[in-house]
Structure 1
């Protein structure tokens, strides 16, 4: 595993924790070890990677320190649910635009953990992005072995998601969108 892949794995687990998924201590320690062996460097990473079974309870806090040191997650997320959802959607959209988060994963997070937390009457700014995410998912999931145009349709759908994510991020820089532009 190279450094970029190790950082991507760390970020994915950090996002999973942000949306409420429990990640076991054994997995956090293994991620830390994999990242360390891949050449990722930050002060808390050797501590996380070197935990033994008796020290497993320390893994959650050490993992948070690693995430903060590597700046893999926003450190200024709002605590209120709706502003937090907007901040996460914007962050995930930016990660998609930057190519840091793949369209499938980013779309999943935006749809299930962002848009679902935003009241419908406030979600108008997200509609084009959500539509492109759903279209991408539909395109990627339904295919047949004789479908010669499948790959190009999936790539077109991915491009559409990236374009809509870029439009969203540009239209709504760093602050919570309001319904109606």
Structure 2
């Protein structure tokens, strides 16, 4: 699992575990190993929901919702929404860092 970069050590505390999942998924988004629409959806459904939709995750959640609903008739190109997910993920892991996300949900 480690060689494939598919795993991480889960903290015992459920809230810390959700934040660890967010940080892991955000890292996968930034390094390109996870599709932006899939990653935003996973962060939205698997973490933000259980964490009470914290402000720090709102940009990713908003993009996840828009990507989930997107159709070709929208004026916003899908590539722009995908880029917004990447920018938000990068800000999450570079601005605060995964360690601070675990300490300060």
TM class, shorter-length: 0.7 to 0.9
> Taking structure 1 as reference, are residues 168 and 71 closer, same or farther at Cα in structure 2, changes over 3 Å only?
closer
1:126-165 superposed matches below 5 A: 126-139=57-70, 142-143=71-72, 147=73, 153-165=77-89
1:1-181 equivalences in 2 (<5 Å): 67-68=1-2, 70-74=4-8, 76-120=9-53, 123-139=54-70, 142-143=71-72, 147=73, 153-175=77-99, 176=102, 178=104
Query: Following TM superposition, by how much is the alpha carbon of 1:71 offset from its aligned partner in structure 2, in angstroms?
Result: 4.2
Structure 1, unmatched stretches of 5+, are 1-66
TM-score (norm 2): 0.82
Give yes or no for contact 1:86–1:114 (8 Å, CA) kept in 2: yes
CA RMSD of aligned residues (A): 2.1
Change (3 A) 1:118 1:155: same
* Closer/same/farther in 2, CA of residues 77 and 135 from structure 1, 3 Å limit: same
List, as ranges, runs of 4+ consecutive aligned residues in structure 1 with deviation greater than 6 Å. Answer: none
Q: Number of aligned residue pairs: give it.
A: 103
* Structure having the higher Rg: 1
- Structure 2 residue ranges without an equivalent (≥5): none
TM-score scaled by structure 1?
0.50
